[in-house]
Amino acid sequence: MADKKPAKHLSDLSKIIQWLDKRGRLTRVASEVDPDYELAAVAAQLEGQPSAVLFENVKGHTAPIFTGLYWSRGLLAELLGTEELNLSAFIASRIAKWQQKPVRPMVVTKAPVKQVTQKVPDVTKLPIPIHALKDGGPYFDVSVVVTKDPDTGVRNASVHRVMVVNDTVLSLLIDPGRHFGVYLDKAKARGKTLRFTLNVGVPPGVYFAAATPSGAAPAEADELGIASEFQDGPLELVKGDTSHVELIANAQYALECEMFTEEKQEEGPFAEVTGLYADRAPRWKVHVKAIHHRRTPVFHTLISGEEVWNSAGLLAEGHLQGLLPKQVPGVRDIYMTPGGCGVFHAVIQMEQTHKGWAKNAIMSAFAGFNMLKMVTVVDEDVDIRNPSDIEWAMSNRLIPLTGIVQVHDSFGLGLNPSFPNNIGTKLGFDCTRAHPHEEKDERVSYRDVSLGDYDISFGR
């Protein structure tokens, strides 16, 4: 399947759901489902199937809930018009195109997301689910935060976990090193509050823009422009009612929010990407000033598992695929493993032309994506998407005394329990053959035949 010009439906989640339905890629749950714990339990049983899920009958609400858009790479590749094995490279090519010639978002006067505005903001009226049994409350978990640099006015997009506290108060986590945290510090220095919008039910391009690693989208760039590369025209924004920060015009819901730089609010626990609960602690208190939505909105949520591994992993993969071959000759492919939660373990396939390049690839990967905890480098004869093949390379080609790289006191993602306060040890594994290769290093191979050419009676 060749890459195509972005289709019109890619700018609108409602149209994407219709597109999935027409192609048999949408599972519909007609039974009434409680958004508290039950919906996530059903979704977890369906996780990883080659179709997304629409819960049509959500207890206590008229709006349906949608999930599963990112848990199948095959589904996402079909949606974007590319091949599954080419998916991360496809995403990287769109980001590279934006880097070379950005398309600015366009501000419009009317938008689907402003068809209805609550007279009195009340977040509890939205169908926000509670997922895991020990979660601290309902969460926005795939919604995109849009804010502006208090000094320059440049827009930033990011994804954060946001817990509902009451009808007008939320609590938001900002991981260290995020641009959003830098903007909060700038607002504090000015003695100002920080305004932002929380956009629910956005198309993939907006989510990819928000999840793009900072190395590919520096703070001085309006990264919302990335979204335009995944649809058939500029991303559309619309002005809010209470601040200068815009809403995503085609979102399903949008909340206008304000943060005071000294206010904290308890947040958590939350079932995180690691499959473990993040702790409960004081985080940033958010005041909801206005709530807008479509006349017939769909609430978008995700389960912290394969959807996060794929979506975040694809952005990391694409970033490293664009970066490493420029720095290390011979790098052929990169895969962020599901067992590494999509962000902690990169497997690099390379053809070494000089001794020591595998070690350089390890160091370049750590520098290029700071969430990484482990990097495994293998030869070109190893399938990096096959866990057994990776284990074979580790078992047969890794020389522990010289092939293991340890980097102590490194910055990483604090959600990983082995990185308390974002500091821990990173590990690199050089599982490549010695250079130059010897005949004894060659893997066994067989003549290429097709079973269709033979008269074979198969047993049970």
User: What is the pLDDT, as a whole number, of residue 4?
Assistant: 57
pTM of the model: 0.92
Question: Dihedral sign, CA of 133, 137, 138, 144?
Answer: negative
Strand partners, 335: 347
Give pLDDT < 50 ranges for the chain: 1-3
Per-residue pLDDT tens over the stretch 355-401? 999 999 999 999 999 999 999 999 999 999 999 999 999 999 999 99
- Say yes or no: domain 328-435 is CATH 3.40.1670.10: yes
User: What is the pLDDT, as a whole number, of residue 177?
Assistant: 78
User: What is the pLDDT, as a whole number, of residue 2?
Assistant: 46
CA gap 70, 368 in Å, rounded: 24
User: What is the pLDDT, as a whole number, of residue 430?
Assistant: 98
Q: What is the CATH number of domain 8-306?
A: 2.30.110.10
Residue intervals of the chain classified under CATH 2.30.110.10 are: 8-306
Residue intervals of the chain classified under CATH 3.40.1670.10 are: 328-435
